[in-house]
Amino acid sequence: MKYSIADMRRNYTRDGLVESQAPDDPYSLFGLWFGQAVEVESTEPNAMMLATVDGNGQPHLRTLLLKGFDEQGFVFFTNYQSAKSEQLLAHPVAAMTFWWPDLERQVRIEGRVEQVGDEESDQYFHSRPLGSRLGAWTSPQSQVISGREELAQRLAEVEARYADEDPPRPPHWGGFRLLPQMIEFWQGRPSRLHDRLRYRLENGQWLRERLAP
Ligand SMILES: Cc1cc2nc3c(=O)[nH]c(=O)nc-3n(C[C@H](O)[C@H](O)[C@H](O)COP(=O)(O)O)c2cc1C
């Protein structure tokens, strides 16, 4: 197939985001947009990009699944010995971006990060399918491994260990919560004159500002 990357573009016409219709707090707007993404987006509306930073100031970015949100923050789960967790434990700040192409919307969230409590991690871990629970024990996430055979062998060992009991949550697996200081809502508009409303937490109050696209 012949294509020209330079000519690939879309004119966004679906919707607008104006101050008169935007709530005062970003959580209800996120809830509204997330609900609409669940209805409209065909694949994984809870997929987002999570950026972390290491000691050299090098950013690292990868896709994760959001597993909960409320006024406390935005929760995801991972291996606490992974590269991202090492970065988060040493530098507890992160940025998260959702891109919902069918809605022509982006949401960016930035703030501090903390580990969720054991109870919250346990509760989510035990809601996962058995294969995922065994996988959490099997995969030394982010480490170099010799090949798929190593994973297969580790999985066989884990399956044998938990043949007669429910696998407990590994101590090295659990959640983080991003506590937002900033949430920006982006709605695509025609001719690249998009809407951007940024909510910033200042002295415990959310301030709303419009940014140029
Ligand atoms: C759609 C999608 C969802 C993912 N969800 C998660 C997740 O919820 N938790 C996780 O640890 N990794 C998830 N991953 C894998 C991560 O992108 C990444 O490869 C892994 O966490 C290791 O990252 P790190 O080496 O930077 O720690 C997902 C990948 C994709 C493509």
Q: pLDDT tens digits, the chain, 213 residues: what are they?
A: 899 999 999 999 999 999 999 999 999 999 999 999 999 988 999 999 999 999 999 999 999 999 999 999 999 999 999 999 999 999 999 999 999 999 999 999 999 999 999 999 999 999 999 999 999 999 999 999 999 999 999 999 999 999 999 999 999 999 999 999 999 999 999 999 999 999 999 999 999 999 999
Q: Which ligand 1 atom sits nearest the alpha carbon of residue 44? A: 1
Q: Is the CB of 132 under 6 A from ligand 1?
A: no
Q: How far is the CA of 136 from the centre of ligand 1 (A)?
A: 12
Q: How far apart are CA 144 and CA 107, in angstroms?
A: 33
Choice among 14, 112, 161, 192 that is catalytic? 192
pLDDT at position 1, please? 87
Q: Where are the domains of the chain?
A: 9-126+171-210, 127-168
Q: Which residue's entry shows tokens 């008169």?
A: 20
Please report the pLDDT score of residue 39 as a whole number.
97
Dist. CA 29–CA 152, nearest whole Å: 44
Cα(63) to centroid of ligand 1, in Å?
Answer: 5
Cα–Cα distance between 28 and 35 in angstroms, integer? 10
Is the CB of 115 inside a 6 Å radius of any atom of ligand 1? no
Taking the CA atoms of 205, 207, 208 and 211 in sequence, report the sign of the dihedral they define.
Answer: negative
| Nearest ligand 1 atom, CA 85 | 27
pTM of the shown model: 0.97
pLDDT for 99 equals 98
192 catalytic per annotation: yes
- The tokens of 73 are what? 């923050």
Task: Say which amino acid occupies 54.
Answer: D
pLDDT number for residue 159? 97
Residue 154: φ, ψ to 5°: -65, -40
Q: In this structure, what DSSP letter does residue 74 have?
A: E
Ligand 1 proximity of 15 Cβ (cutoff 6 Å): no
pLDDT at 164: 95
Note whether 28 and 185 are within 8 A (CB). no
Q: Are 38 and 47 spatial neighbours (Cβ–Cβ below 8 Å)?
A: no
Q: What is the largest CA-CA distance in the chain?
A: 61
| Angle (nearest 5°) at CA 79 between 76 and 81 | 135
User: Mutual orientation of helices 148-161 and 130-138 as an angle, nearest 10°?
Assistant: 120
Q: Please, is 33 exposed, middle or buried when counting C-beta atoms within 10 Å of its C-beta (0-12, 13-18, 19+)?
A: buried
**CATH 2.30.110.10 for the 9-126+171-210 domain, yes or no:** yes
The predicted pLDDT at position 199 comes to: 98
> What's the one-letter identity of residue 134?
L
Q: Compute, in angstroms, the gap from residue 139 CA to the centroid of ligand 1.
A: 12
Residue 119, CA distances (Å) to 86, 97, 115, 122 in order: 22, 27, 11, 5
